[in-house]
């Protein structure tokens, strides 16, 4: 990237391995994981890289939830 493109752009610090390990440990706790994903995705203090990761994770979570609901509804309709 040229120097001209870098002017005015701040780079977020790299998320360390230690921070990712702690994040993954927190995500193993039921219900807390969903709350923390929302906090990390939409908090202004969160590293932008981490925030984008959790925004993408939440989008996939909603897609999987909708697909699972569709399969259940299809199964109920097919059983009748």
- Rounded to an integer, what is the distance from CA 62 to the centroid of its chain? 11
Query: What is the model's pLDDT at position 4?
Result: 56
Greatest CA separation found in the chain? 66
For 1-43, write each residue's pLDDT tens digit: 555 556 677 899 999 999 999 999 999 999 999 999 999 999 9
pLDDT recorded at residue 6: 63
Q: What b/e string do you get for 48-75 counting C-beta neighbours within 10 Å, with b at 16 or more?
A: eebbebbeeebeeeeeeeeeeeeeeeee
DSSP assignment letter at 29: S
Structure tokens, 59: 């989008």
Delimit the domains of the chain by residue range.
17-79
d(CA 27, CA 73): 29
Whether pLDDT at 75 is above 60: yes
């Amino acid at each position: 990237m040229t120097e001209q493109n870098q002017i005015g752009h701040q780079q977020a610090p790299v998320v360390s391995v230690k921070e990712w390990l702690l994040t993954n440990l927190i995500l193993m706790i039921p219900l807390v994981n969903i709350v923390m994903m929302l906090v990390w995705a939409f908090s202004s203090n969160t590293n932008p890289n981490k925030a984008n990761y959790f925004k993408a994770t939440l989008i996939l979570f909603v897609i999987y939830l909708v697909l699972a609901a569709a399969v259940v509804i299809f199964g109920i309709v097919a059983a009748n």
